Amino acid sequence: MMTDVSSIWHLIKKDLKIDFRQGYAIYSVLLFVFTCVFIVYKSFTEFSPQSWIVIFFIMLLFVSINAVLKSFMQESGDSSLYYYSMLNPIHVIVAKTLYNFVFIVALSLIIWLLLIFFSFNPFSSSIDFFWTILLVSYGFAVVFTFVSGLSKADGVNATLLAVLGMPLVLPIILLGIKISFSATTLLSDTSLATDFMLLIGIDLLLTGISVILFSILWKS
């Protein structure tokens, strides 16, 4: 058990170190976020909470696709053989998913802050929105990490696989948007608890499947 945790932790640390050492990956995503927010700020003269939320989630979707796509780039070629002989596939997918999860949460907080800076904060209950961000980011991380893990074998067009992931995250986004809408109003929605449970359920289901399938695919 301890070795599992430490091996996952080392993998996460390795990803973090590589990303910070290379720099360009993180900075390019940040530039992407800033440009998007600025375009939105310049083009909307009046911002309704509804459009705020929809734009937030669409930006988050594309930013996280860009951020996660690279996650298996380093493991192509010879290093993949090295990893294959060294590591348990479950550790790899869990570490990648967690790392991407943290990354996407950080990005969504940055988008949120930038949107507040340029426009306003539409939420009466920011806590609810924060939980939504956590759950939606986790769903994104699971789906996109799995899908980019599929493209680990070289020769598959990584962008295409990201496109394939998009219908898979649609229910997650739709639920996220629904919960966020209810977080903008003062009245709390009676179905809020079921929506949260549903989101958690979808996240858990996808996690289970991605872990099982990845360990099968890892062999090839």
As a whole number of angstroms, the distance between CA 150 and CA 143 comes to: 11
Q: Of the two residues 98 and 175, which places its CB atom closer to another protein in the complex?
A: 175
- Does residue 58 bind another protein (CB under 8 A)? no
- Contact indicator for 66, 166 with CB cutoff of 8 Å: no
CA 68 to chain centre: 7
CB of 205 to another protein, least distance (A): 6
The reply to whether 190 sits near another protein by the rule CB under 8 A is no
Cβ contact 77:204 at 8 Å: no
Q: Which residues contact 56 (CB under 8 A, 6 or more apart)?
A: 108, 111, 112, 115, 180
Backbone angles phi, psi at 206, to 5 degrees: -65, -35
193 lies in the binding site for another protein (CB under 8 A): no
- Of 73, 164, 185, 188, the one binding another protein (CB under 8 A) is 164
Least separation, in Å, of the C-beta of 54 and another protein?
Answer: 15
Q: Token pair for residue 88? A: 């348990």
Q: Which of 64, 71, 100, 210 binds another protein (CB under 8 A)?
A: 210
- Contact residues for another protein (CB under 8 A)? 146, 150, 153, 155-157, 160-161, 163-164, 166-168, 170-171, 174-175, 191, 194-195, 198, 201-202, 205-206, 209-210, 213, 216-217, 220
